[in-house]
């Protein structure tokens, strides 16, 4: 592969606040990154942290990488120390990886103030470390910290670090925007000047961008456009402070927009799945609005979008979502037009193409209901029931009808709070009354309703309320606040979401509960 996709999720990604990979996590992350087709996996800093040392030891027997090679990360030798006697450098060799990436100071201000040594000694540290690694059979990469800031301040010193590393045998010298302050135009200009001043071809340079200006992906793409063939990224942009260039957006941009193949055939399609699996391992909720791979990356809300998408989805998508393994979705809200309703219904298996009146009625009902606080965006099951009911002129079969329900909450002398609900329903022509207790009024209602219905619908025992979200909406025109409840229900095979709205939280919950059971039972019948 002409381009080197260098992933540093396990090193720089782990520097994100809130991430703490176990060794088992690291092994799982490495397998997924390899499956995604990156060429290099920087696994951590052996010798700095026991977990990283253990990761490299276990990787030798537990990882069977198909696309990637493992990289151990560390620093150049300490100032005024023989490289062969530097334990940190020895730990890099002990990791037994084919590639070692060492971070070197390339801004003279950091050399003098942070390392507290001279420019010449820093060059010797780079030279000795690279030579020692190469002599020990390693491919050596050098991450030049604060490269762009250093180059702006003292271009000749920073250029001398690049030349020293290359002359000593480094395979790549990586220009790091460590403080993440660059913009794409600055990156392009700097790379042109670096190549001129050092005489080192852009082919031998790499790029590593932190995301402090929110330009890490754009900066990385700009560097590749300027001729750089090695770029460093992290999954989902995890990394120190705001993070790094997101691997998925970066490779997608480079492959799909610049037309340069950087992953093996068939790998880009795994982006969405791998991104979300890596978020799980990091224990970070996936960013639904992440470019390319987020659940909302191809979700369309505006009616005008949907009307064009009906003609051709690419009219409103910058790429076909399937090329990164994602899907397009149509959201139904007050911003929907008839085309949105038609496309969303089609997504749910209902063809409304020959039903122009139903399309108009459903569109208007959705707008009216949303004006009253309803939200169908996340409640596909309630929307589907609404459409099916309209198609049948309001005669959609319901599994039961309500005569009444009553809920009471009792605070007892001993401090316990118990809710009790009684429901009276008609099921298959019979009147059934059931009472149940619960840890709250909604739980008690749910239990009582199930008790009343289970004999007729035994499959109800598989239904479980998996999520319950309550939102209090401000009343308009001085009216009382209203409550919107979203219920997620599952039966082990699938999950569905329903919505209920009312001034009374129990009634809002009841409405969502009735939809949940109606939808679930209809799907199973």
Ligand X SMILES: CC(=O)SCCNC(=O)CCNC(=O)[C@H](O)C(C)(C)COP(=O)(O)OP(=O)(O)OC[C@H]1O[C@@H](n2cnc3c(N)ncnc32)[C@H](O)[C@@H]1OP(=O)(O)O
Q: Report the interface residues with ligand X, using CB under 6 A.
A: 45, 48-49, 75-76, 78, 103-105, 114-115, 145, 178, 240
Q: Which of residues 414-433 bind ligand PYR (CB under 6 A)?
A: none
Residue 210 binds which one of ligand X, ligand PYR, none, with CB within 5 to 8 A depending on kind?
Answer: ligand PYR
Among 103, 293, 359, 381, binds ligand PYR (CB under 6 A): 103
| 97 is a site residue for ligand PYR (CB under 6 A) | no
Q: What is the x/- site pattern for ligand PYR, positions 333-362, by CB under 6 A?
A: ------------------------------
By beta-carbon proximity to ligand X, the closer residue of 45 and 463 is 45
Six-digit token string for 39: 């060429």
Residue pair 245/300 in contact by the 8 Å Cβ criterion: no
Alpha-carbon distance 502 to 110, whole Å?
62
Give Cα separations from 263 to 276, 355, 409, 459, 522 (angstroms).
19, 46, 60, 47, 45
Residue 208 binds which one of ligand PYR, ligand X, none, with CB within 5 to 8 A depending on kind?
Answer: ligand PYR
By beta-carbon proximity to ligand X, the closer residue of 104 and 195 is 104
The contacts of residue 307 (CB under 8 Å, 6+ apart) are: 337, 338, 339, 340
Alpha-carbon distance 346 to 327, whole Å?
14
| 170 is a site residue for ligand PYR (CB under 6 A) | no
Ordered strands of the 401-411 beta sheet: 401-411, 417-427, 430-438
By beta-carbon proximity to ligand PYR, the closer residue of 150 and 303 is 150
Q: Which of residues 10-69 bind ligand PYR (CB under 6 A)?
A: 12
Give Cα separations from 272 to 289, 438, 505 (angstroms).
12, 40, 37
By beta-carbon proximity to ligand X, the closer residue of 240 and 420 is 240
- We find the least distance from the C-beta atom of residue 272 to ligand X, in angstroms, to be 29
Alpha-carbon distance 290 to 285, whole Å?
11
By beta-carbon proximity to ligand PYR, the closer residue of 174 and 508 is 174
Residue pair 513/445 in contact by the 8 Å Cβ criterion: yes
- We find the least distance from the C-beta atom of residue 506 to ligand PYR, in angstroms, to be 54
Alpha-carbon distance 444 to 435, whole Å?
8
By beta-carbon proximity to ligand PYR, the closer residue of 176 and 511 is 176
Six-digit token string for 195: 């190549």
| 145 is a site residue for ligand PYR (CB under 6 A) | yes
Among 26, 127, 208, 310, binds ligand PYR (CB under 6 A): 208
- Cβ-proximal residue to ligand PYR, closest one: 176
- HSE of 432, CA atoms in CB hemisphere, 13 A: 20
The contacts of residue 435 (CB under 8 Å, 6+ apart) are: 420, 421, 422, 448, 451
- We find the least distance from the C-beta atom of residue 12 to ligand X, in angstroms, to be 6
- We find the least distance from the C-beta atom of residue 95 to ligand X, in angstroms, to be 14
By beta-carbon proximity to ligand X, the closer residue of 110 and 189 is 110
Among 7, 34, 86, 143, binds ligand PYR (CB under 6 A): 143
Alpha-carbon distance 76 to 86, whole Å?
9
By beta-carbon proximity to ligand X, the closer residue of 15 and 317 is 15
Whose tokens are 């998925």? That residue is 248
- We find the least distance from the C-beta atom of residue 313 to ligand PYR, in angstroms, to be 39
Interface positions with ligand PYR (CB under 6 A): 12, 103, 143, 145, 176, 178, 208, 210
């Amino acid at each position: 592969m002409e381009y080197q996709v260098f992933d540093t999720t396990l090193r720089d990604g782990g520097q994100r606040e809130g991430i703490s990979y176990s060794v088992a996590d690291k092994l799982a992350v490495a397998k997924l990154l390899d499956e995604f087709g990156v060429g290099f996996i920087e696994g951590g800093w052996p010798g700095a942290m026991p977990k990283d040392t253990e990761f490299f030891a276990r990787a030798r027997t537990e990882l069977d990488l198909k696309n990637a090679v493992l990289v151990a990360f560390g620093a150049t030798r300490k100032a005024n120390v023989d490289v062969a006697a530097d334990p940190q450098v020895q730990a890099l060799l002990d990791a037994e990886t084919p590639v070692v990436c060492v971070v070197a100071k390339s801004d003279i201000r950091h050399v003098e103030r942070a390392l507290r040594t001279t420019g010449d000694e820093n060059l010797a540290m780079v030279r000795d470390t690279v030579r020692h690694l190469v002599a020990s059979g390693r491919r050596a990469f050098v991450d030049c910290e604060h490269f762009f800031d250093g180059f702006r301040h003292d271009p000749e010193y920073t250029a001398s670090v690049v030349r020293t590393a290359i002359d000593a045998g480094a395979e790549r010298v990586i220009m790091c925007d460590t403080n993440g302050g660059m913009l794409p135009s600055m990156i392009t200009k700097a790379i042109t000047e670096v190549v001129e001043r050092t005489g080192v071809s852009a082919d031998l340079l790499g790029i590593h961008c932190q995301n402090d200006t929110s330009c890490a992906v754009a900066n990385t793409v700009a560097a590749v456009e300027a001729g750089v063939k090695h770029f460093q990224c992290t999954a989902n942009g995890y990394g120190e402070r705001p993070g790094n260039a997101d691997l998925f957006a970066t490779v997608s941009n480079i492959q799909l927009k610049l037309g340069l193949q950087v992953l093996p055939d068939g790998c880009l399609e795994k982006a969405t799945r791998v991104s979300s699996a890596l978020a799980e391992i990091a224990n970070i909720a996936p960013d639904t609005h992440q470019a390319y791979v987020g659940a909302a990356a191809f979700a369309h809300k505006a009616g005008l979008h949907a009307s064009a998408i009906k003609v051709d989805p690419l009219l409103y998508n910058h790429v076909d979502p399937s090329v990164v393994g994602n899907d397009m979705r149509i959201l139904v809200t007050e911003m929907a037009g008839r085309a949105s309703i038609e496309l969303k219904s089609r997504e749910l298996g209902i063809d409304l193409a020959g039903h122009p009146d139903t399309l108009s009625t459903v569109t208007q009902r959705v707008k009216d209901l949303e004006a009253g606080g309803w939200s169908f965006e996340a409640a596909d099951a309630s929307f589907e029931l609404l459409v099916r009911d309209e198609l049948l002129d309001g005669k959609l079969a319901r599994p039961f009808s309500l005569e009444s329900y009553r809920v009471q909450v009792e605070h007892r002398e001993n401090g316990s709070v118990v809710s009790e609900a009684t429901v009276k329903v008609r099921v298959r022509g019979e009147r059934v009354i059931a009472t149940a207790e619960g840890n709250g009024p909604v739980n008690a209602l749910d239990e009582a309703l199930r008790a009343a219905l289970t004999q007729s619908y035994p499959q109800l025992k598989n239904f479980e309320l998996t999520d319950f979200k309550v939102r209090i909406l401000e009343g308009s025109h001085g009216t009382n606040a209203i409550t919107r409840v979203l219920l997620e229900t599952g039966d082990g095979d699938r999950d569905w979401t329903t919505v209920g709205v009312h001034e009374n939280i129990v009634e809002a919950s009841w409405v969502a509960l009735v939809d949940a059971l109606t939808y679930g039972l209809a799907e199973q019948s």
